[in-house]
């Protein structure tokens, strides 16, 4: 029997994503991004993002269906990000998904964006063995999670107490004169820099918690750059990028591996936009191997926000026999990761 065809819609931030998934097979992944419209503000402007979603969402659904050679009538179920995310942006996706579900008479699952970031890995690496630890690092979140069951039992082990890792990348890029979003240009600049050039602080490195803090690191980079400029010296962007990136990757991978060891878990999933980072990927691979932990990381294109991740989680929920969300379920910009499925 073929698995049901699930269409997933993501609109929680600045990416309008539509994915089509059958079981663990990715059939189409269509993305439209409003990132260029936010670049001059150095961060995502919620209202600009909402309007961009409105324009992009129906064409993205069409492109995904066309790309997979499918018609709307062949879709067995819909999934959409219900939260967390930007309130207005979420509304566009949820209202659109409700309209498709109502028009076709098919079930709709309102899902948690963070759980979807974990679920997407299954499209590449197959069913996630549980329990597993997940490190989610994006522009809005930096969390360590204990996954007992992807469709319903996820516990938070720790999270950032201030800036998210991606936010730190974006802020540091700005003060180095690099474009927004800052992750990719810092990653590229770091390739020719010396990660040991500046010893930036590793906050909460040995504090015994699974929490993170990145705002002090961002300030340390700002102070270092200011001192350099005050002395009339050029700022070595590649060295600063590499040193900053090393500090972020060091803390993230150390705590992630520690979380696995502390909970007797031998699978680690790393996902979210920052998981596209080359140094994080390399250091995580090395430290997991040393610790006997099996590392799973989606390819960079699936780490950043996309619709396939939402479809992947929807497919899991369907397979697990979960009830669809009620027709009047609401968006929740602060949806906790413990709530995988929006139920009201
Ligand atoms: O998951 P995502 O696409 O959106 C959110 O849910 O936030 O993550 C976006 C974040 C941005 O902060 C961006 O700078 C960061 O991911 N990012 C990276 C890289 N690619 C994207 N950070 C470090 N290295 C990268 N290669
Ligand atoms: Zn995300």
Tell me the pLDDT band of 74, cut-offs 50, 70 and 90: very high
Residues 6+ apart with CB under 8 A from 23: 3, 315, 319
Res 344 pLDDT > 80? no
- Determine the straight-line distance between the first and last CA of the chain, rounded to whole angstroms: 32
pLDDT (0 to 100) of residue 228:
97
Res 242 pLDDT > 90? yes
pLDDT (0 to 100) of residue 42:
81
Buried b (16+ CB within 10 A) or exposed e, 261-273: eebebbbbbbbbb
pLDDT (0 to 100) of residue 44:
87
pLDDT (0 to 100) of residue 85:
95
Q: 139 C-alpha vs ligand 2 centroid, how far in Å?
A: 7
Answer yes or no: is the C-beta of 272 below 6 A from any ligand 1 atom: yes
Q: 271 C-alpha vs ligand 2 centroid, how far in Å?
A: 9
Atom from ligand 1 closest to the CA of residue 169? 14
Q: 33 C-alpha vs ligand 2 centroid, how far in Å?
A: 13
Mean pLDDT of 139-157: 95
Answer yes or no: is the C-beta of 139 below 6 A from any ligand 1 atom: yes
Q: Do 193 and 238 meet the contact criterion of CB atoms below 8 Å apart?
A: yes
Mean pLDDT of 305-322: 97
Buried b (16+ CB within 10 A) or exposed e, 196-228: eebebebbbeeeeebbbbbebbbebbeebbeee
Number of the ligand closest to the Cα of 39: 1
Q: Do 276 and 298 meet the contact criterion of CB atoms below 8 Å apart?
A: no
d(CA 172, CA 180): 10
pLDDT (0 to 100) of residue 40:
84
Q: Of all protein residues, whose CA lies closest to atom 1 belonging to ligand 1?
A: 273
Predicted confidence (pLDDT) per residue in 18-32, tens digit: 999 999 999 999 999
Q: Do 316 and 21 meet the contact criterion of CB atoms below 8 Å apart?
A: no
Answer yes or no: is the C-beta of 184 below 6 A from any ligand 1 atom: yes
Q: Pseudo-torsion of CA 114, 117, 121, 122, nearest 10°? A: 60
Buried b (16+ CB within 10 A) or exposed e, 283-318: bbeebbeebebebbbbeeebbbbbbbbbbbbbbbbb
pLDDT (0 to 100) of residue 161:
97
pTM summary value: 0.95
Tell me the pLDDT band of 332, cut-offs 50, 70 and 90: very high
Atom from ligand 1 closest to the CA of residue 173? 14
Atom from ligand 1 closest to the CA of residue 164? 12
d(CA 54, CA 91): 10
CB under 5 Å of ion ligand 2: residues: 138, 305
């Amino acid at each position: 029997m073929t698995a049901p065809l699930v269409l997933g819609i993501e609109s929680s931030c600045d990416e309008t994503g539509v994915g089509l998934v059958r079981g663990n097979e990715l059939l189409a992944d269509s993305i439209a991004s409003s990132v260029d419209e936010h670049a001059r503000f150095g961060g995502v402007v919620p209202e600009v993002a909402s309007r961009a979603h409105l324009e992009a969402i129906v064409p993205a659904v069409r492109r995904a269906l066309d790309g997979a050679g499918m018609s709307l009538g062949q879709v067995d179920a819909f999934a959409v990000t219900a939260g967390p995310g930007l309130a207005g942006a979420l509304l566009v996706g949820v209202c659109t998904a409700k309209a498709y579900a109502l028009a076709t008479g098919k079930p709709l699952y309102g899902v948690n964006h963070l759980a979807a970031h974990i679920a997407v890995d299954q499209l590449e690496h197959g069913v996630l063995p549980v329990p597993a630890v997940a490190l989610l690092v994006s522009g809005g979140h930096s969390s360590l999670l204990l996954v007992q069951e992807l469709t319903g039992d996820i516990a938070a082990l720790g999270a950032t107490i201030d800036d998210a890792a991606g936010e730190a990348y974006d802020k540091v890029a700005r003060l180095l004169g690099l474009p927004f979003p800052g992750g990719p240009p810092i990653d590229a600049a770091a390739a020719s820099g010396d990660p040991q050039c500046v010893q930036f602080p590793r906050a909460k490195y040995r504090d015994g918690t699974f929490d993170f803090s990145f705002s002090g690191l961002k300030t340390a980079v700002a102070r270092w750059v200011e001192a350099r400029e005050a002395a009339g010296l050029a700022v070595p962007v590649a060295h600063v990028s590499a040193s900053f990136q090393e500090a972020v990757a060091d803390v993230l991978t150390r705590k992630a591996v520690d979380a696995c060891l502390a909970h007797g878990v031998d699978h680690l999933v790393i996902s979210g936009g920052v998981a596209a980072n080359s140094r994080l990927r390399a250091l995580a691979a090395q430290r997991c191997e040393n610790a006997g932990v099996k590392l799973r990381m989606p390819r960079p294109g699936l780490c950043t926000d996309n619709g396939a991740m939402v479809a992947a989680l929807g497919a899991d929920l369907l397979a697990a026999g979960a009830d669809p969300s009620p027709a009047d379920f609401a968006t929740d910009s602060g949806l906790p990761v413990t709530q995988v499925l929006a139920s009201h």
